[in-house]
Amino acid sequence: MSPKNFILTSFLPGCFKANIPSLEPKLHDVCKPISIQRLYLSDVSNPGSPLSLSDLSSTHVLSSLHVFTLKELQLITQKFSRSNYLGGGGFGPVYKGFIDDRLRPGLKAQSVAVKMLDSDGTQGHMEWLTEVIILGQLKHPHLVNLIGYCCEDKHRLLVYEYMERGNLHDQLFTRYTVTLPWSTRIKIAVEAGQGLGFLHEQEKPVICRDFKASNILLDHDYNAKLSDFGLATDGPQGVDVTTRVMGTKGYAAPEYINIGHLSTMSDVFSFGVVLLELLTGRPSMDKSRHDRHKNLVEWASPLLKDHHKLDHIIDPRLEGQYSVEGARKAATLAYQCLSHHPKSRPTMSIVVKTLQPLLDMTDIPIGPFVYVVPSEGKNGSDMQKKGKETVIECEMVKNEKKCEGKEAEKKEKTRLRKGKGRRHRHRNKLLRSRAVYSDTALYKILGTSLHTLPKTSYREMNIEA
C-alpha cells in the first residue's frame, strides 16, 4: 500500500470519529505489516481512501504520542487559567500544566506546555497537523519533544515538554533578563544549527520556513531546542517554487520573498540572521531605530566582512568579554549565510562544523579584578586597613598580555604628540588622584609594597594572593 493513501482520519483517532466507518472488516485484509519510514506532509494533503487504524499502528507512525482529551488538558492547566499563561503567537496561547501517572497510567511526571490553536489566529488546522506529523516522527536532542495532542470537535491542542528559560528572543532582547555570556550564545548557535541540520538531512528535507529566535526554546541549562513547525514543508533536494510566501519579516531569504524560490538554503539565511542577533544583541527588525538601522541585516552586513569594524556591532552588553578570534569567525560565517546567492551559502553541516571549535577558544578576557591604590596624602597602612580610597579596574587580556586596550593606547599616543613635558605633568596628576590603568604606574606609586601585603588584604582587594 502506498503511503500516499493516508488521510487525516488514518492517524488522528481523536478527530472525525463520527465520520469513520466500521474498521473491523479491514482487519482481515491486512496480510503483513506495512513498512513506512516516514509519513510526509504531502501524503496527508491529498485526499485518498480511508486507512484503518490497525494498519496505521503496524507502521508505528505517531505511536509515541498520547491522545489527550480536552477535559484532561483543562484539568492540568486549571481550565487554562491566567496564572498558567506562558505567552502566545500566531498559533495561539500557551499554558503551563503538569502531568503524571495520576492523569493517565504510564505518564512521566513533568511540567508541560499546552498550546491551543486560536480559531481567529493566523494559523489553522493544517499548521496544527504539520506539527503533529513532524514532531510526532522526528526525534532529536535539539527538537522540542511533542508529548501528545488533543483533537475534539473544533479544538486543536498540542502538549510539549516545558522549557524553563522560554525562547531565545526574550532572553536576548527583554530588559529584565541577564545578558547571555559569549560562550552560552555560541552554544545555542551550535545546538540550534544541529537541530536544523537534522531536519535538512532527512531523505526528504524538512524546510522550516520560519526559523527565528522566538522559535528557539531554552531549558534550565540553556540547551536549545527548535519549536513551532506549523509553516514547515517537505522540500526536494533542489529548489521548490511556491506561490504562497510565509514566514517572519527580517528572517526570510530574499529569493523566497521576491520570486518564491524555497530550499534548505532559505533556512540557512534565517540561521544567519539569528547568528547576527546573537553577535549584536539586536533584533532582526527594530522599529524604534531610524530607517537605516531598522533592518539588522541591511545595517550589519557591510560591517561583517571588515574585522576592524566588528567592535562597532558586537553586543556592548558583553562588555568585552568575548573571544575576538571567535567573533571574527562567527561574523564571517554569518556573512556567508546571508549571501544573496543561495548557492554561495554553506550547508548546515558546514555551519555546525565551523561553529563547534569556537566553543573551545580560550582567548576570552578574564573578568575585571580590582587593585586598591592610596590617594594623595594617605599612607600605605591606611590603605591596607581600609582599602576603599581609589579603585582601579583593569581587564587582563591573555592573548595581548597587557592591560591597556586599543582605545587607551591611541589616546596615549595622542598625548605624546602634544608635548612630553605637558604629558608627564598631566599623567603624574592622574596617577595621584584617579584610576591607573598600567602595571608600571602601579609599581611607581606602591614600590614593592604590592608584594608585601598580607593575604587578608589581598582578599579585601579581590586579588588572588
Place of cell 511526571: 109
Q: Helices 420-433 and 439-446 meet at what angle, rounded to 10? A: 70
CB count within 10 Å of CB 387 equals 18
Confidence of residue 422 (pLDDT cuts 50, 70, 90): low
Q: Helices 324-337 and 348-355 meet at what angle, rounded to 10? A: 170
Nearest CA among 152, 79, 64, 143 for reference residue 114? 79
**Each residue's pLDDT tens digit, 240-269:** 666 578 889 999 999 999 988 999 999 999
Nearest CA among 376, 389, 394, 399 for reference residue 437? 394
Contact of 178 with 170, CB cutoff 8 Å: no
306 is catalytic: no
Q: Which residue has the higher pLDDT, 426 or 204?
A: 204
Alpha carbon distance 187, 199 (integer Å): 19
Per annotation, catalytic residue among 55, 210, 228, 234: 210
Confidence of residue 89 (pLDDT cuts 50, 70, 90): confident
Query: C-alpha angle with apex 410: 407 to 415, nearest 5 degrees?
Result: 130
**Each residue's pLDDT tens digit, 316-329:** 999 999 999 999 99
**Each residue's pLDDT tens digit, 295-306:** 999 999 999 988
Contact of 266 with 240, CB cutoff 8 Å: no
Phi/psi for 152 (5° steps) reads -130, 120
pLDDT at 165 over 90: yes
Name all domains of the chain by residue range, CATH numbers in brackets: 3-59 (no CATH), 66-161 (3.30.200.20), 168-360 (1.10.510.10), 369-460 (no CATH)
Alpha carbon distance 177, 71 (integer Å): 35
